[in-house]
Chains A and B, each alone.
Chain A
């Protein structure tokens, strides 16, 4: 029965992927991309990788889908012609080559367990009980630190697209929501639930699936829906408090990592302190990830027309 489910899931994944790259129109391609992300998230659940599934659903399907939808809407507003999505022969061959090479490597990885046993043996020293969090924030803290900086760099690149005279404007496009409409009602109902879920995901990350990226994405979504409904004012890119929120995660990560120098080495967390250090990093990282993702979706500052 589960084999049947897996086969159907694989077929759906392939169909969604094909529809996303072969579909007519950018909007349709984006919708299928989101559908593809959801099937991939389900596949990760079936493989027992709940952490990856959460990340794929929240960031791969949800946030990336939202970014692409925003790009499609922007292209339409700008009156850009719908350029053909049909892939050329060379990109198709290149993509097929990459897919083939990835599959070949995946099949040649020795042993079925991967690094599971090594990670499991070192787990008691990591300060957390969830092996994924142990890898992300302790064993391979470097990667996560650089990732958080890359995220910030991406936002800077988006902001760099603003023209000089637009710099004074709040971020994002002008938004219109009817006062007292359904969107506003939703935006008042959802944040309390969303904030609890987001904070829970971060806290739970120490011992079960969850973490700063997943929790941060949920919090970003909460902020975005409040912004869409016009319940919170959008900040200007030169707002000091927002810039602090954006930089806090990588900065605290670096500080905590550097304090490891006194205790053994850069980004080395001694077992007695590891839990407190990791939690501190995660809290600030969540703040920065939530702020960065929400501002990425809103895009560069855009001037409002005078009423």
Chain B
């Protein structure tokens, strides 16, 4: 048995933790009653989840370029998730008012 290097341990812990957040977000998406609380579950949990996964994977990066790309993926996903949450919430508001 060879010892596992510290970065590898951290990668496993961080990505594992990130997956837990994804799981929690998915459970929230499935179980919460309306669009707004579902969005809340998704945006909070997934952003942290992806951040933890990105952090864990970043520890395995071999070059600064790879590191920058992982960071870019995370930032873009974060911005996109925030935007989509806003748009979906507004659409849901309009929908509710129309049915209203």
Contacts and interface: CB of A to CB of B under 8 A. Distances in A.
Do A and B come from the same complex? yes
Interface of A: 181-183, 185-186, 189-190, 193
Contact of A182 (B72, B76, B82): B82
A211 B86 CA distance: 33
A183 B83 contact: yes
Nearest to B86: A182
Interface string B66-83: 000000100010011011
Interface residue range, chain B:
under 10
Contact of A193 (B76, B82, B86, B87): B76
Nearest to A187: B83
Contacts, number: 16
Nearest to B85: A182
A224 to B, nearest CB: 14
A189 B79 contact: yes
Contacts of A182: 82-83, 86-87
Interface of B: 72, 76, 79-80, 82-83, 86-87
B76 to A, nearest CB: 7
Contacts of A193: 72, 76
A76 to B, nearest CB: 13
A183 B83 CA distance: 7
B64 to A, nearest CB: 16
A186 B87 CA distance: 12
A47 to B, nearest CB: 21
A186 B86 CA distance: 11
A186 B76 CA distance: 10
Contacts of A185: 83
A186 B83 contact: yes
Nearest to A194: B76
5 contacts: A181-B86, A182-B82, A185-B83, A186-B80, A193-B72
Contacts of B87: 182-183
Contacts of A189: 79
B73 to A, nearest CB: 11
Contacts of B82: 182
Contacts of A183: 83, 87
Given A182-B83, A189-B79, 14 more contacts: A181-B86, A182-B82, A182-B86, A182-B87, A183-B83, A183-B87, A185-B83, A186-B79, A186-B80, A186-B83, A190-B76, A190-B79, A193-B72, A193-B76
Among A181, A186, A189, A190, max chain B CB count under 10 A is at A186
Contacts of B79: 186, 189-190
B52 to A, nearest CB: 20
Contacts of B72: 193
